[in-house]
Structure 1
């Protein structure tokens, strides 16, 4: 099959797989979050959550392999999807486990590419909520094992994530471990990007509104000009009729 035909099949696969992958990402996030938010659960629950994570990870890996097989130019696909490959391989190294959650964002981004048509604000609000939740889980997972850490529960983690992503940064809570600081760095970058999206979206909305007002004014002025032209024409006809001599003169 030709390259363009294979690419069409790959895009069709991605559209069909977006909902199942979104469901899998949600299950993945829940399995990751439960042992972190409730650390006193039984070892059996922890093992079940880990098995769910591995199972969902296998689904992600299968999706990547299918997309690679359907790609028109496979080496080009690998080069242009290095993040997908890295997020599949690197998080199994203990210091990089938090990158598992970045893959959830990658899945959500793929979903947004097909469904996002002019709904910038809705998408941005959802993205902010997910980023805050994911960053909170990641930093709590990293910090809880450090006795000197000041982020010890989900409330602390959420407060830290909110103050960080909004660039307020009170400093009352801060990560102390390498993993926690990596999560903070990723959150800072995401916060800047999301704030840029919000600012750009609002600016675009205002420009569109102003352009709409200007166009409405232009249409109104054009209509008034037509009315004035008609009035002048009618006045000219009336003047001509008044100046015309009557039959009895």
Structure 2
């Protein structure tokens, strides 16, 4: 029997990993349910600044801080020595530094508080896989959209400027490209040349495609995509689940060896019963 592999499999999860399979399952459920509250708690305090007498803004900032406090304690409970990891210490620093100190008399946060609250967005990008994936996809969409805007605006500007006074500056061309790409179509600036209209049609088609990509990314992030029932489940990539699968395989192997040993024992017992007794000399 391979005792080395068994000893490695029997070792507990390392620091920063779920404590066991139940903790990993609970963490997956928590991440799915807490995704939107954590995003709102990271974004709203940047928009709604607490002011004296504005109890709604104060309540929003306090509740958002409590969400991050709860998130820290959930991770501390489900992970092995979460506070000993860099992410755990980063979470603790965010919780302490972004506490509602403004409730204290004379405490003023100033610009440093805004910077610290921006760190919450950084925490989302670092720790949340779904948010990282969403921002990665949105980043690619933004790059393509920016390229379409600049190229389309430049083509329309050089095609329309000599004959169309509505394209007086490059800024007017960019504004027209934005309105066309987003399929809003205000109609305040309209191309009149063939090249300008072809350019506008291309921007419209790209706008519809980019909006579809954006909608698909948001649907995937919020779990609105239909799940195919016939697809095979992917094998778990979590180290704890992999170790548990290895333990199950070894237990199954031990059970097979036990059954073989039981069969051999019965065969030996049957052989002893069939052996003739030696007669008296």
TM range (shorter): 0.3 to 0.5
Looking at secondary structure, tell me which structure has more helix per residue.
1
| TM-score, normalising length: structure 2 | 0.33
Give the TM-score taking structure 1 as reference length. Answer: 0.37
Q: Which has the higher contact order (CA 8 A, sep 6+)?
A: 2
Of the two, which has the highest radius of gyration? Answer: 2
